[in-house]
Structure 1
Amino acid sequence: MQKPQHVYDREAEWEALVSFAQDRRPGAQLGVVSGRRRQGKSYLLQALAASSGGIYFPALEVTEAVALRLFSDELIRFTGAPVPAFRDWIEAIPYLFEVVRDRPVPVVFDEFPYLVKASPELPSVIQRELGPGGSGASSTARLLLCGSAMSVMGGLLSGSAPLRGRAGLELVVRPFGYREAADFWGITDPRLAVLVHSIVGGTPAYRREFVRDDAPATRADFNDWVTRTVLSARVPLFREARYLLAEETEIRDPLLYHSVLAAVADGNATSGGIAGYVGRKSNEVAHPLRVLEDSHLLVKDRDLFRPTRTIYRIAEPLIIFYQAIMAREWTRLERGDAATVWRGSRGRFLSQVAGPHYEGLCREHAVRSDPEAGEVGSGTVADPANRTQIQVDVVVLAPAEHGRPRRIVSLGEAKWDKAMGVGHVARLRRARDLLAVKGFDTRDTTLTCYSGTEFAQELIAAGDRDVRLVTIDQLYS
């Protein structure tokens, strides 16, 4: 089954869906597709159903009775024959499995959390019919449950949930990688690509529906693009960051959750720092942190040199931009004063948004490009002699080997808007020496400088064999 031309990229996701939909083993099969909103899940599943003659049922926020009537309409379109009125899903699911028997057919329940909200027993009904003696035994339905409420979708197959152990496919549709995103936006200038990606990330809908294909033509056009799109109250992208949080069903106190995100966006990466920022005790922010992590809005990393230290970062660039730039100027932006707000915010944008985002892209580049990478992240190295700490932006560790010291492949520093010189290499070299004392294997460790602008001539001229210079062009090549 060929991927339709209108579906950009997503080759791996399409291959997984087609393989599941065409699985010829006997009995109904279950798959779960999840991912944050605007990533193109529905687009993919509609294309799959259309290409294979399947059933696509987009759920709505309605009562169970209305949902069952709408589901009956989809079955009528599929079978071309009358369908009985269902009293509940206990009748509907067996009937579905009964009519899908002759060939493997994908049956998509999109926005499945809406159905569960109205009918909490639905996962248990599906589990029973897929189990021994259930109606799914003689069916060829390839049932795909899809949803964007990540906390709900993540719970479908976890712990003691009814469907745990039943799924033959668990697919998460993620944003495009930074290279794919640049191509999707039609941007060939790497520096401009980083600036745009630091605001909208790799979410495909933000280009098509949310800004109506308005992409910055050149780097000189970037400032005007920001004011006419994400900072314009007339453009849907303007309020999107707020809606992302409101759509998660587990969130009961939006003010607290927005405050937690604001804390992380302002550079508070530990639970203690976040608690202090929002004026709560550490145990009072533990639940919001877990919910935001389950919702894929926060990511929990560990300091690679201090494994007990947990670091939080925001997964969605648009939320970082909103918290750092928009939230504090919301009233003026709603009045249409985007140009003035942006002029006063560009310094904060570089330090709190573009700079940290570039560091993340450098770590992603290390994952892609270094064949020895077993683990990539960041780390903090204590320097007792100088009473300071050295923050290493990009740490590449080789895979752990039992009974041997952990080998450090690379230590890297990333600078978005500053020329890098010999001083940056000296910091990395000092960190390498300190880590060697701590028992790490640093004999072949490379010191890597990632520059978003340029390298000082003295650094280039030095030509040190243990130093690698990575330009922004190399990130996109």
Structure 2
Amino acid sequence: MTFYDRGDELDGLETAFESQGHDLYVVYGRRRVGKTELTKEFCGDRPHIYFLAAQETEHRQREKFVEKVAEYFDDRVPRIDGWDDAFDYLGEKLATEQLVVAIDEFPYLVEENDSIPSYLQSFVDKQLQGTDSILILCGSSVSTMESEVLGHESPLYGRRTGQIDVQPFAFQQARDVIAYDLEEAIRSYAVTGGTPMYLTLFDYELPLKKNIQAQILSPTAVLYNEPEFLLRTELRSPARYMSILEAIATGHTTPNEISGATSIDAGPLSKYLQTLRRLRLIGREVPVTASAKQSKRSRYQVADEFLRFWFRFVEPNRSSIEEAPAVVYEGTIEPNLPDHVATTFEDVCQEAIWEKIRHGELGPYSEVGRWWYGEDEIDIVGLAPDADRILFAECKWTSEPVGHALVSQLREKAERVRWGPDARDEEFALFSKSGFVDGLADDVSDSWSLLGLNEMDVIL
């Protein structure tokens, strides 16, 4: 797979490797986000030992690890009785040469022997510390990496010199891959999200419709069963989690709504939601003006565009897709895709807002997010760090140009947002897929920014 972006992450690893002394780097994140590709790209032409752990017995894992070390040093494979001996052997070799040592899927080692972190603590303290080498621990099980490597109770706590929480690509990063014009790129991103593997499966010389049919709606395609596969690798009984994800993807975003859609009582539902958040499959959102810890006005959203697409359009229609995928696309997906993309468009507009803030074209705001109260909702609200200025923005993914009605509506809703002093400064922005009616720009003040796709293309 072609390697894209991750420049900041590579720079961090390169700086660590070139600096004096040892390093212990932790690379973790959801499955498919590109942790292995990042690690391999960094190893590159540098002297390195790359070990990919597997779901095997502890004895076989240890054998393969020692074989990897011996192979690099062109050494006879020694007899090793335990992980302490294995790491001692590695330590002896690192005394002679600066290396990158990468252990990928580290949680698989911990599954078979939960004392591995203790052995590694001893290795870091006694042997790695006296070298210029770097040890990278990489893993997809976020919970295991956070508890067994990064957590306060871990023997390795305080030993790491850096960590990379690898995230899916934002839209700006994904555009390096998506070879469509901006409008079609936003539609495509609403389907694949920013997971590198999903992005690179699409053939951007083909229309989006063809990619969806070939890569998602075909029962033989990788993405057809991908979410179910991901859940089964993390959870023993994924059925209820599947129901919750489908409920959220189809618009049931509050705990009460999710409970009603799934018939799961509030108590158990809370635990399921916590697990899905821990796995980074959903996110919890509160109004940007509210406290995340104290607010009871929480909403949940599927944290990945592809999963949101799949649970909205694929999971409820599996039987029909097996029989007539083209009919499902034309009758269900195509008519409802604009509504699905509208949510993604709001997130892309948030990226554009942050770009304008960074370039001093808006400014400065320290928090940007959605706001709602009762029946009122504003797509984007920005809060200034000194609480004397606020930004209001609406995002319209519609086929008609935006007109004066939206300007009036946004002004009215802005008056009902209680934040900052009465004399606060206010800025406004409108984003529109289809542009604006003639004369609108002349009828609003300088505190308004009107941004169509052409303007967004420049910003992004």
Q: TM-score, normalised by structure 2?
A: 0.91
Q: Does structure 1 residue 339 correspond to structure 2 residue 326? A: yes
**Matched residue, 2:6:** 10
Deviations 1:50-91, CA, capped at 9 Å, x for gaps = 321111001111111111111122112211111312222121
**Matched residue, 2:382:** 396
Moved more, 286-295 or 194-203: 286-295
Deviation at 1:418, TM superposition (A): 4.4
**Matched residue, 2:361:** none
Q: Matches of 1:476 and 1:162 in 2, distance apart?
A: 48
- Match for residue 180 of structure 1 among 173, 176, 183: 173
Describe the SS at the equivalent of 1:456.
Answer: coil
**Matched residue, 1:146:** 138
Q: Matches of 2:160 and 2:194 in 1, distance apart?
A: 28
Q: Does structure 1 residue 301 correspond to structure 2 residue 285? A: yes
Q: Residues 162 and 274 (structure 1 numbering): CA distance in 2 closer, same or farther, change over 3 Å?
A: farther
Q: Does structure 1 residue 215 correspond to structure 2 residue 215? A: no
Q: Matches of 2:144 and 2:186 in 1, distance apart?
A: 32
Q: Matches of 1:442 and 1:452 in 2, distance apart?
A: 33
Deviations 1:439-468, CA, capped at 9 Å, x for gaps = 555632112111122222353442333322
Q: Does the CA contact (< 8 Å) of 2:388 and 2:420 recur in 1?
A: no
Q: Matches of 1:316 and 1:297 in 2, distance apart?
A: 7
Q: Matches of 1:165 and 1:201 in 2, distance apart?
A: 34
**Matched residue, 1:252:** 236
Q: Does structure 1 residue 454 correspond to structure 2 residue 435? A: yes
Q: Does the CA contact (< 8 Å) of 1:207 and 1:214 recur in 2?
A: no
**Matched residue, 2:211:** 225
Name the amino acid aligned to 2:337.
Answer: F
**Matched residue, 2:39:** 45
> Identity over aligned residues, as a percent?
27
Deviations 1:6-49, CA, capped at 9 Å, x for gaps = 63221111111112223322xx4311001222222212212322
Q: Matches of 1:395 and 1:344 in 2, distance apart?
A: 36
Describe the SS at the equivalent of 2:434.
Answer: coil
- Match for residue 240 of structure 1 among 213, 223, 226: 226
Q: Matches of 1:56 and 1:258 in 2, distance apart?
A: 35
Deviations 1:155-199, CA, capped at 9 Å, x for gaps = 221231222221111102222221221221222x11100000001
Q: Residues 42 and 442 (structure 1 numbering): CA distance in 2 closer, same or farther, change over 3 Å?
A: farther
Deviation at 1:261, TM superposition (A): 1.1
**Matched residue, 2:161:** 168
Q: Matches of 1:408 and 1:260 in 2, distance apart?
A: 38
Q: Does the CA contact (< 8 Å) of 2:58 and 2:113 recur in 1?
A: yes
Describe the SS at the equivalent of 1:85.
Answer: coil
Q: Residues 267 and 306 (structure 1 numbering): CA distance in 2 closer, same or farther, change over 3 Å?
A: farther
Deviations 1:77-133, CA, capped at 9 Å, x for gaps = 2111113122221211122122102343110000111111112111121123323xx
Q: Does the CA contact (< 8 Å) of 1:98 and 1:139 recur in 2?
A: no
Deviations 1:372-424, CA, capped at 9 Å, x for gaps = 12001101145xxxxxx21011111111x4xxxx3343111111124322221
Describe the SS at the equivalent of 1:171.
Answer: strand
Q: Residues 53 and 246 (structure 1 numbering): CA distance in 2 closer, same or farther, change over 3 Å?
A: same
Q: Does structure 1 residue 426 correspond to structure 2 residue 408? A: yes
Q: Does the CA contact (< 8 Å) of 1:412 and 1:450 recur in 2?
A: yes
Gaps in structure 2 of 5+ consecutive residues: 359-363
Name the amino acid aligned to 1:43.
Answer: E
Deviations 1:280-326, CA, capped at 9 Å, x for gaps = 22221122222211212112222123431223221211110111101
**Matched residue, 1:262:** 246
Q: Matches of 2:322 and 2:50 in 1, distance apart?
A: 39
Name the amino acid aligned to 1:317.
Answer: E
Describe the SS at the equivalent of 1:166.
Answer: coil
Q: TM-score, normalised by structure 1?
A: 0.88
Q: Does the CA contact (< 8 Å) of 1:102 and 1:140 recur in 2?
A: no
Describe the SS at the equivalent of 2:398.
Answer: coil
Q: Does the CA contact (< 8 Å) of 1:298 and 1:315 recur in 2?
A: yes
Q: Does structure 1 residue 85 correspond to structure 2 residue 72? A: no
Q: Does the CA contact (< 8 Å) of 2:94 and 2:128 recur in 1?
A: no
Q: Matches of 2:106 and 2:65 in 1, distance apart?
A: 12
Q: Does structure 1 residue 127 correspond to structure 2 residue 109? A: no
Q: Does the CA contact (< 8 Å) of 1:101 and 1:140 recur in 2?
A: no
Aligned residues: 446
- Match for residue 361 of structure 1 among 348, 351, 360: 348
Q: Matches of 2:384 and 2:89 in 1, distance apart?
A: 53
Describe the SS at the equivalent of 1:276.
Answer: helix
Q: Does structure 1 residue 376 correspond to structure 2 residue 368? A: yes
Moved more, 284-293 or 449-458: 449-458
- Give the superposed CA RMSD: 2.1
Q: Matches of 2:172 and 2:57 in 1, distance apart?
A: 43
Name the amino acid aligned to 2:66.
Answer: S
Q: Does the CA contact (< 8 Å) of 1:101 and 1:141 recur in 2?
A: no
Describe the SS at the equivalent of 1:476.
Answer: helix
Name the amino acid aligned to 2:416.
Answer: L
Deviations 1:179-238, CA, capped at 9 Å, x for gaps = 221221222x11100000001112222244xx3x52254xxx222332222212222122
**Matched residue, 1:385:** none
Q: Does structure 1 residue 21 correspond to structure 2 residue 2? A: no
